[in-house]
Amino acid sequence: MESQEPNVTKSPLMYLNRVPVKTILEGSDAEPGFVGTTVVVGGWVKVSKEVKEVMPQPPPTSPPMASDARPSPPHPPGTKDVSCVEVLQSRIPFFTTIIRVLGGSTSSPAVRQKLESLIPKPPPPSIFFLQINDGSSVSNLTVVIDSATVPVSAGQILPTGTCVLVHGVLEKPSAHGKQTIELKVEKILHVGTVEQDKYPLSRKRLPLDSLRDYPHIRPRTTTVASVTRIRSGLDFATHTFFQNHGFLHVHVPIITTTDSEGFSEKFQVTTLLRETSKKEASIGVSDADGVSLETVEAAVKKKSSIVEELKRSDSNREALAAALQDLRKTNELAQQVDSREKSKAVTAVKPDLVNFNEDFFGRQSYLTVSGRLHLESYACALGRVYSFGPRFHADKTVSAKHVAEMWTVEAEMAFSQLEDVMKCAEDYFKFLCRWILDNCSEDMTFVSKRIDKTVVHRLEYMDSSFYDKIPYREAVEILRKVTDKAFETQIHYLADEHYRRPVIVYDYPKAVKPFYVRLNDDGKTVAAFEMVVPKIGTVVTGSQNEERFDILNTRIKEFDLSKDQYEWYLDLRRHGTVKHSGFSLGFDLMVLLATGLTDVRDVIPFIRSHGKTNN
Looking at 309, 327, 358, the residue that finishes a domain is 358
Is residue 377 located within the same domain as residue 343?
A: no
Is residue 441 located within the same domain as residue 523?
A: yes
Is residue 331 located within the same domain as residue 374?
A: no
Is residue 378 located within the same domain as residue 260?
A: yes
Task: Return d(Cα 404, Cα 259) in angstroms, integer.
Answer: 16
Is residue 516 located within the same domain as residue 416?
A: yes
Is residue 294 located within the same domain as residue 395?
A: no
Within a domain: 285: yes
Which CATH number covers residue 38? 2.40.50.140
Within a domain: 611: no
HEC per residue, 136-180: CCCCCEEEEEECCCCCCCHHHHCCCCCEEEEEEEEECCCCCCCCC
Looking at 324, 358, 392, the residue that finishes a domain is 358
Within a domain: 409: yes
Binned average pLDDT, 10 residues per bin, the chain of 615 residues: 48 77 82 83 95 69 49 47 50 58 57 61 83 96 94 93 96 79 96 93 86 93 97 98 98 91 83 61 48 74 74 64 74 72 52 74 90 96 97 88 95 98 98 97 96 96 96 93 72 90 97 95 97 96 97 94 92 96 98 97 93 78
Domain limits at 171?
Answer: 21-52+124-204
DSSP state, residue 424? H
Which CATH number covers residue 240? 3.30.930.10
CB within 8 A of 192, min separation 6: which ones? 162, 163, 164
Residue 343's pLDDT is what? 57
Is residue 391 located within the same domain as residue 416?
A: yes
Angle at 539 between CA 534 and CA 541, to 5 degrees: 130
The torsion angles phi and psi of 314, rounded to 5 degrees, stand at -95, 30
Within a domain: 161: yes
CA torsion angle 27 30 31 36 (round to 10): 40
Is residue 255 located within the same domain as residue 297?
A: no
Residue 9's pLDDT is what? 47
Domains held by the chain: number: 3
Answer yes or no: are the C-beta atoms of 552 and 539 closer than 8 Å: no
Is residue 333 located within the same domain as residue 452?
A: no
What SS3 state is found at 488? helix
Looking at 343, 358, 373, the residue that finishes a domain is 358
Is residue 262 located within the same domain as residue 275?
A: no
Within a domain: 378: yes
CB within 8 A of 93, min separation 6: which ones? 65, 69, 70, 71, 72
Within a domain: 610: no
At 564, the amino acid letter reads D
Is residue 543 located within the same domain as residue 566?
A: yes
Within a domain: 101: no
Within a domain: 78: no
Is residue 312 located within the same domain as residue 371?
A: no
- DSSP string of 25-76, one letter each residue: HHHHHH-GGGTT-EEEEEEEEEEEEEEEPPPPPPPPPPPPPPTT--PPPPPP
Q: How many CB atoms within 10 Å of residue 259? A: 22
Task: Return d(Cα 362, Cα 255) in angstroms, integer.
Answer: 13
